[in-house]
Amino acid sequence: MAAQVISGKALAKKIREGIKQDVERIKQERGFTPGLAVILVGDDPASHTYVNNKEKSCIEVGMNSFVDRMPAETTMEELLAKVDEYNAREDVHGLLVQFPLPKHLDEKKVLARIAPEKDVDGLTVENAGALLSGLPGLVSCTPAGVIELIKESGEEISGKHAVVVGRSNLVGKPVSMLLLNENATVTMCHSRTQNLAEVCRTADILVAAIGKPEFITGDFIKEGAIVIDVGTSRVNGKLKGDVLFDEAAEKAAYITPVPGGVGPMTITMLLKNTLIAAERA
Ligand code: NAP
């Protein structure tokens, strides 16, 4: 079987067009513009690129973007004061602090300070708990994007066996919870899982979020599976996923590429969360 490629790029474009219309509707009907604030501390080049992309994407859908670039020597007190400032601002509906932070700053403390209703990254304990408890909250962006990509295949999730490789708070755990909420039977795998390839071969839906380039070979794939590759690793300057694409595509029915799969969905879900936060404001 040669898999059908699910393009995150195309899906992201479609969803962003809808978001743009919703932003316009909020402006017309409620008289305000949804706004996203991003706090960036330090000089990490990758973080600067990510934040620039977020800013550009916000503007493209008609949202307000507020980017605060703070120096690397910013103190915890200064950063928390900045978070408080954006928490209090009525024109800011979504707030995120770009990670990683410089080593002297405590990421957990910073996250805990973000107002949960503005936590558009869905990373606060309150939003993680809401997901676990089936309460309305804000779902973290990459996991939400994974679900949208699976749905784009047109296949039913309910009743399927989903295997998620990786159990991070950022990706693996929330993806597993979302799949469970969609009534999949979910198996979570990690670095101590035995016979990983064998477990993966039982997956109707396989989500790889490990961070090991091309680790998931064709031998891990069940015929007709849906394969979602979250992994991104730089190898000789090229972006590689966790899945060995050509081999997996021989067996899978649907597969996402890297780049152009999960990546473009992540910022799109950030815009969607900002819209949700603005609607609830
Ligand atoms: P992480 O925090 O490093 O977690 C990696 C997970 O993979 C851990 O749970 C680890 O198991 C598991 N793992 C590592 N080696 C394994 C192995 N040989 N067999 C089975 N499991 C193994 O990473 P993350 O933040 O979840 O990110 C995962 C990947 O997704 C990375 O490549 C990251 O760059 C990418 N990512 C992409 C996007 C995007 O927008 N495209 C967003 C977020 C992340 P243990 O828990 O046992 O250590």
The Cα–Cα gap between 18 and 53 comes to: 19
How does pLDDT run across 131-150, given as a tens digit for each residue? 999 999 999 999 999 999 99
Tell me if residue 144 falls in helix, strand or coil.
helix
**94-118, pLDDT tens digit by residue?**
999 999 999 999 999 999 999 999 9
Per-residue pLDDT tens over the stretch 11-63: 999 999 999 999 999 999 999 999 999 999 999 999 999 999 999 999 999 99
pLDDT at 1: 63
State which of 54, 168, 207 you would mutate to test the pocket of ligand 1, scoring each by most atoms of that ligand within 8 A of its C-beta: 168
Q: Is 98 one of the annotated active-site residues of the chain? A: yes
The string of DSSP codes covering 28-95 is: HHHS---EEEEEEES--HHHHHHHHHHHHHHHHTT-EEEEEEE-TT--HHHHHHHHHHHHH-TT--EE
Q: Which of 22, 82, 98, 204 is catalytic?
A: 98
Catalytic residue among 54, 82, 118, 173: 54
pLDDT band at 265 (very low <50, low <70, confident <90, very high): very high
Going by alpha carbons, the residue nearest to atom 39 of ligand 1 is: 263
Ligand 1 nearest atom to the CA of residue 261, by list position: 41
Question: Rounded to a whole number, what is the distance in angstroms from the first to the last CA of the chain?
Answer: 48
**Alpha-carbon distance 278 to 33, whole Å?**
8
| 162 pLDDT more than 80 | yes
Model pTM?
0.97
Question: Ligand 1 center to residue 166 CA distance, Å?
Answer: 5
Say whether 28 is catalytic. no
pLDDT of amino acid 128: 97
Tokens of 84: 């408080």
Q: Whose CA is nearest to atom 16 of ligand 1?
A: 191
Q: Residue 253 Cα, ligand 1 centroid: separation in angstroms?
A: 24
The question of whether 246 is a catalytic residue gets the answer: no
- Ligand 1 atom showing the smallest separation from residue 192 Cα: 47
